[in-house]
Structures are given as C-alpha cells and as structure tokens.
Amino acid sequence: MERINGCMTAMVTPFDKDLQVDYQGLESNVEFQIANGISGLVPLGTTGEAPTITDSERTKIIETVVRKAAGRVPVIVGVGTNSTDKTIRYSKEVKDLGGDAILVVSPYYNKPTQEGLYRHFEAISNAVDLPIIVYNIAGRTAVNIETQTLARIAKLRTVVGVKEASGNIAQVMDVISQLPKDFAVVSGDDNLTLPVMAMGGKGVISVVSNLFPRMVSDMVRLAISGDAEGAKALNYKLLPIFKGAFIETSPVPIKTAMNMAGMPAGGVRLPLCEMLPHNLERLRGILSNYTELKIDSTNNP
C-alpha cells in the first residue's frame, strides 16, 4: 500500500439489539465512509471494541470490510493485544484475508520495558509481511513508547508509521523532527489533528469521522494542500463534537451519536455501558447544532 496519509476512520463495530455484530450495518458504514471521501478504514481498533470481539467475529468482520471496500481504500486492521504470539496470529489472519496493513497497539497491562516494546514489534515485523502502524496510547496501555524506542522500531522493515495518541504535543514534535521524513506520523486524537498536521503530521485515524467522514476528510485534505484557513474553519466547526465524542469512554459517545442520527451502531458490550443521563443530554445538545445530521429526539441511543 502507499504511505499512510489522509483521514482514516477508526470504525465502530455495529451491534444489533442483542449485541451481536450487525454485518449488514457494517457494510452500510463501509459504503458511507468511502462515498464520503475517507482515505482508509480501520476496523477492530479501540473504537471497534476489539477486546470484546470473538475470534470468529473478528474473521467475519475483516472479511466483510475487505470485501465491501473492494480495494477502493486501504483496510488497516487493528491486531494489537498484550500477547506477542496472539498479535502475530491475528496479523497473519489479516494477511490471509486480504487486509492492506495492521495497526498494532503497544501491549497493555503487562507494562513491558522499552526493550520489551521493541522486541514485541520486532517479532511481529519478522513474522508477517504487512505494513505496520504503531499505535502509541499510554492512557490505555500504561506504557508510553518513548521517542528513542520508536526510532528503533521505525527501522524495522515493515513499520511505516505511528498513530500518536499520547496527547503530548511536545512528544509529537520530537517524533516528527527526529524520525525519517518518510515515516508517517498521524494523529490519534481528533482534537489534535490540525496541530499535529501543522507540525508535519500526515493525517488522522479518526473517531469522529464515523459520523462526519466528509467534513473530517475535507479538513485533512485542506491541511495537506496548504489551505490553512479552510482547514482551520472546519476544525473549529468540528471542535464541539471532537470534545463531545470523548465526554465518556470511547466508543460510547460516538456510537450513541450515530444511533441518534439513525446510523448503524447499536449498543456497547460490557464492561462498557450506556452514557450517564446528563452526558447524554450534553451530547444531544452538541449534535443539535450540526444541520448536516438529522437528529430524531425519539431515537434511543
């Protein structure tokens, strides 16, 4: 696949009323994303509730997204776990099923050292011939991938970029300035996309683009083309939902918002649960300001 850039959507996994995967809804979401200019699809990440997805569901989700995308945009599948062997097994499955790349989060809970982190990515790179995007999100994994360590990881033959979701702008600047120019740094935080791109980032793996693929994609394209004022205008228009999508643990708010807009999303699996009533009303108030959406007040999230 080409180098990582643009707006790629961290896709939700839609469920039906019994919290079974809604594969028809997933197909609909894929088509909606591609029709609205998205640059890539990222199923089975944090937003896709990967920890609660069974292995058989995982296989069918990958098959569904790859088949429906039909080569129109890259499919970058989340495979990261806190077991190197399991991550390699998932990565090989993506290769077998026709995925274009893998998104590998740093191992959570185990709290590996920086050397352990390097060896984890080294083992995956040696085992699977697919482009790897490293996913650094210390808020969920308890361990930050330090810039020095990422520089080592970036030298591995299949590592092409990083989804940087540390929330630390100083660290992002270090990464962009110290790593090779062809190493893609993309934002993992919607509200930091434009600042990251202003410093040399290549785009975003976005949560909010589940709901607003055209608007987020346009913002990223304007930033890439050098239209700073146009990108800034869209950034500020999107800022309320950039914040609203994270007033509770993601993907609860974005799935709730999609339900309000009549899009395939459904509920979330335990240990996640529905939003608190006051946050639900805050989110509904935010969405009411976007005329692009048809929010039905009778829609139950």
165: three-class secondary structure by DSSP: coil
Residue for token pair 């929330």: 167
**Using only C-alpha atoms, what is the Rg of the chain?**
18
Look up 90 and say whether it is catalytic.
Answer: no
What does the alpha-carbon distance between residue 61 and residue 94 come to, in Å, rounded to a whole number? Answer: 11
What does the alpha-carbon distance between residue 267 and residue 254 come to, in Å, rounded to a whole number? Answer: 11
Closest CA relative to residue 193, chosen from 158, 218, 174, 159: 218
Structure tokens at 177: 């300035």
Q: Which residues contact 212 (CB under 8 A, 6 or more apart)?
A: 238, 241, 290, 292
Q: Are β-strands 132-136 and 159-164 bridged in parallel, bridged antiparallel, or unpaired? A: parallel
Look up 202 and say whether it is catalytic.
Answer: no
Q: Name the catalytic one among 68, 163, 202, 255.
A: 163
The CA angle 186-14-253, to the nearest 5 degrees, is 65
Q: Name the catalytic one among 68, 135, 202, 255.
A: 135
Single-letter amino acid, residue 177: S
Catalytically annotated residues: 135, 163
